[in-house]
Structure 1
Amino acid sequence: MGSLLHTWILVSFFLVLALVHEAKSAAFRPSAWGNAHATFYGDDSGNGMGGACGYGNVYSSGYGANTAALSTVLFNSGYGCGQCFQLQCTNSKWCTKGSSTTVTATNLCPPNWAQDSNNGGWCNPPRTHFDMSRSAFTKIAQMQAGIVPVMFRRVPCIRTGGLRFNFQGNDYWLLVYVMNVGGGGDVSSMWVKGSKTGWISMSHNWGASYQAFATLGGQALSFKITSYTNHETIIAYNVAPANWQAGMTYGCNVNFR
């Protein structure tokens, strides 16, 4: 009996260790440093800086001033939306020494094929480039520079509260923008469940938006979301009430780490 009890305790101990290891491994870790260049755009209003990701005004959507538009290779057809990057100016007389800043990807910096990649076409593939908000850029370099070389790395997105879902569409077509994503900051796939349905797979529309062609009007809605970076899946139950409306944003109490 004592031998069986001892075996059971050992098995339980290693099971707990495995679960702790799995929980820790699910949390996003910073990446290695890479090289890129950075410019700046926009004004201090925040309008249009949520652009291609669909976040709208970055202040009202909770992202604030520290944002950037990504070149095509980083934007990755919208799967780069919401990712967080630490940037540090390097090898330029315009750098602010010892300073760095963290930005959230909220927009696409489109190619400019009329300009050479090394002379104006900064976001042309395959260049890795950040077009930062003006306030974010001036934290690492002086505006007179226009463009500076930077070191960058992916870092965890530190968010307050849970995921937020902005609804568009109608009773038969639901388009959802996913915001305030923690951890890796990104989303690879998504499902919706009505109070009268099973889980329905949503297709990637563009940026940070997912859509479902289904009759979901008059039902409370839950969502299942998988991170693009960590492949972790979380479920947000009863996010929106049965009388949900397009144009509204609904929150929950779960998020990625």
Structure 2
Amino acid sequence: MCKATYYGSSYCKSFPVGACGYGPYGKTANGVYVAAISKLFRNGTGCGACYQVKCKAPECNEEGVKVVATDHAFTYDADFILSAKVYAKMAKPGKEMDLLDFEYVNIEYERVPCKYPGKNVMVKVHEHSFFPHYLALVLLNQGGMYDITAVEIYEEDTQDRKAYGAVWDMHNPPKGELTMRFYACGSGTTEGKWMVASNVVPAYWKAGLTVETNVQLS
């Protein structure tokens, strides 16, 4: 049986460290309904995926809560680590404190589409980037049921490498405007498609820059 707990409980005293590389976005994505995951992290491929999580106890409601994976945390007792506020949202009205007293609870979960109506995929230049020697990028607004498993950034035929979480990086990137293409797979499959975001990174990029692509995943 899968389980969930929350940050600050005796089962998970640590706090999010942002393993997906989202930074402040990770605190506000999906209307702050976010989660850290353990087994589902998959070396960062699980970042940005959405799940419907329902707890299994008399205090739990039937709807559960929809969360997006923005972090990685490990505990022997749980697969999902939620904020206390999101954890309490799984409770029936008036039973929130009773559920929090459990500190962990049995759950059922399923992968569901992420929805960002009218929003294209965004590319953020990670704060650790250092022009012009080191470029790290993060993809935001990853809609639908897709996992992004490969990324290429190029002016010439140069392929980057995966650093951690949802961050893709390269040393000595090509000069000039850069085009990005990424491979989006359907959940649980290796079959997918390459999607191209042309000239998405300007020639004189800087850390913290966020650019909207012409690509929408839904």
Say yes or no: TM over 0.5: yes
In 1: Cα distance, 2:207 partner to 2:37 partner = 28
How far the C-alpha of 1:246 sits from its partner, in A, is: 1.9
2:73 maps to what in 1?
A: 109
Q: 1:131 to 1:62 in 2, by over 3 A?
A: closer
* 2:4 counterpart SS class: strand
1:221 maps to what in 2?
A: 178
Match for 2:77: what amino acid? Answer: W
Match for 1:189: what amino acid? Answer: A
How far the C-alpha of 1:212 sits from its partner, in A, is: 2.0
In 2: Cα distance, 1:187 partner to 1:237 partner = 17
1:13 maps to what in 2?
A: none
Larger Rg computed on CA atoms: 1
Could you list the structure 1 runs, at least 4 aligned residues long, displaced by more than 6 angstroms after superposition: none
- Equivalent pair of 1:86/1:102 in contact (CA under 8 Å): yes
Specify which structure has the higher proportion of strand: 2
Match for 1:130: what amino acid? Answer: F
Q: 1:188 to 1:224 in 2, by over 3 A?
A: same
Q: Does 1:145 align with 2:102?
A: yes
Match for 2:110: what amino acid? Answer: R
In 2: Cα distance, 1:149 partner to 1:39 partner = 9
In 2: Cα distance, 1:68 partner to 1:188 partner = 20
1:205 maps to what in 2?
A: 163
Normalized against structure 2, the TM-score is what?
Answer: 0.81
Normalized against structure 1, the TM-score is what?
Answer: 0.70
How far the C-alpha of 1:63 sits from its partner, in A, is: 3.9
CA RMSD in angstroms comes to 2.1
2:150 maps to what in 1?
A: 189
How far the C-alpha of 1:147 sits from its partner, in A, is: 0.9
Structure 2 unaligned blocks of 5 or more: 9-14, 92-98
Structure 1 unaligned blocks of 5 or more: 1-34, 43-47, 112-120, 124-128
Q: 1:59 to 1:76 in 2, by over 3 A?
A: closer
Residue number among 84, 96, 105 corresponding to 1:134 in the alignment:
84
